[in-house]
Structure 1
Amino acid sequence: MENEFSNRISVKNIVLAGMFAAFLAVMSQVSLPMPTGVPITVQVFAVALVGVILGWKRGVLAVLVYILIGAVGVPVFANFKGGLSVLTGLTGGYIIAWPVMTILCGIQPKTQNAKLNMTVNIILSLVGLAVCEGVGALQWALLSGNDLRGIIIYSLTAFVPKDIVLTVLAVIIGRQVRKRAAKAGEL
């Protein structure tokens, strides 16, 4: 696993990045539009899962591919949207923070204690979620002219509880998938 991402980008890494960017595009369409302009989605689950399964380097590559594809106009963002206007719009801060979340979700602790490894992985992932929520709320407040405190309170009721559960589930599921894929020699 140490050489999961060499200095060169291998064909395997390119394929994995493409496959997981496609996974993010599909998962981004599981969305419930809201009158606030910020939809309820399961994207956090997908981003965390990508980081945990691929590790931080490959995970960031997949997320950046997804973001770049969306930025050039391919409708891969929630509700089949694409273009720079999404990244510079109300929801853009959340998406822009995904690479940070992916890094934190993708750090694989290597202690001799499996429970400690899982706990550290969950804590790092929740810190990544907090960064994502913070950057997203800040951009939303700046662009909408709404009070940041009000947006944070709304987020804490509408998004954060669901996102905490989804992030923890992604870590639990992702660690199992990663372990099985590594045994099969696929990662």
Structure 2
Amino acid sequence: MNTRSLSFIALFAAFIAVLGLVPAVQIPVLAVPITAQSFGVMLAGAVLGAKRGALAVLLFLVLVAIGLPLLPGGRGGLGVFMGPSAGFLFSWPIGACIVGWLAERFWNRMNFAWMMLACVVGGILAIYPLGILWLAYATDISVLKTAIGSAAYLPGDFIKAAIASAVALMVRRSYPLIETRGRAIS
């Protein structure tokens, strides 16, 4: 891990924190706000790759854990990791890692469709199961009802995945950051 990699990790952790300043939309039925931060999770994996993307999200979560008010509404501290949205927070590093792994795996044939697939698989399909299970537990609502209620978040998450895909492809063309086998790019 070189200084450049550490800088990118810190930069993306800060970017995810700044996305927490975008006003969140609260759906009355569920206790989890719609935020722009999941866009940052997808973008971190897509631009930095699996390892650095996951580390950027982990760094962000450590900053939240120590009490910095980086989540929407100025939330921070260990208490948020016991709240209704904790399952989504815990799955963010996994999601970034999966997006990054898929971006690395399909690097040579990466286009919008492949990047969108990576963002959807890592940024939605990997995050929702744990998030829904924890939300059902924390709110004492059945998993089925929680899953149905969580479907309200899907259109926004697909839009975030599309934007993350477009931005990641622009970054890839102008300043590739992902390291692939046989081709180290800093």
Q: TM-score, normalised by structure 2?
A: 0.85
After superposition, the C-alpha distances for 1:132-152 in whole angstroms (9 at most, x for unaligned) are 111111100011101111111
1:182 alignment partner, SS class: coil
SS in 2 for 1:40: coil
What CA deviation, in whole Å up to 9, does each residue of 1:105-159 have, x standing for no partner?
11223465444xx433322321221121111111000111011111111111x20
Residue matched to 1:21: 13
The 1:89–1:10 alpha-carbon spacing in structure 2 relative to 1, beyond 3 Å, is same
- Equivalent position of 1:6 in the other structure: none
Question: Aligned pairs, how many?
Answer: 174
1:109 aligns with 2:105: yes
Whole-angstrom CA distance in 2 between matches of 1:114 and 1:51: 14
- Show the counterpart of 1:175: 169
Q: Which residue of 2 aligns with 1:159?
A: 153
1:148 equivalenced with 2:143 (yes/no): yes
Q: Partners in 2 of 1:178 and 1:105 — Cα distance?
A: 14
Structure 1 residue 167, shift from structure 2 partner: 1.0
Gaps of 5+ in 2: 178-184
Match of 1:62, SS state, is helix
Deviation at 1:42, TM superposition (A): 1.5
> Please, which of 54, 64, 69 is the counterpart of residue 70 of structure 1?
64
Runs of 4+ in 1 over 4 A off after TM superposition: none
1:21·1:65 contact (CA, 8 Å) conserved in 2? yes
Q: TM-score, normalised by structure 1?
A: 0.84
- DSSP 3-state at the match of 1:29: coil
Q: 1:32 aligns with which of 22, 25, 38?
A: 25
Check 1:113–1:143 CA distance in 2 against 1; reply closer, same or farther (3 A cut).
closer
Q: 1:155 to 1:110 in 2, by over 3 A?
A: closer
Q: Distance in 2 between matches of 1:83 and 1:175?
A: 34
Per the alignment, residue 93 of structure 1 pairs with: 87
- Structure 1 counterpart of 2:180: none
Alignment root-mean-square deviation, CA: 1.9
Matches of 2:86 and 2:72, distance apart in 1 = 11
| 2:77 counterpart letter in structure 1 | G
Task: Provide the rounded CA distance (Å) in 2 between the counterparts of 1:29 and 1:148.
Answer: 30
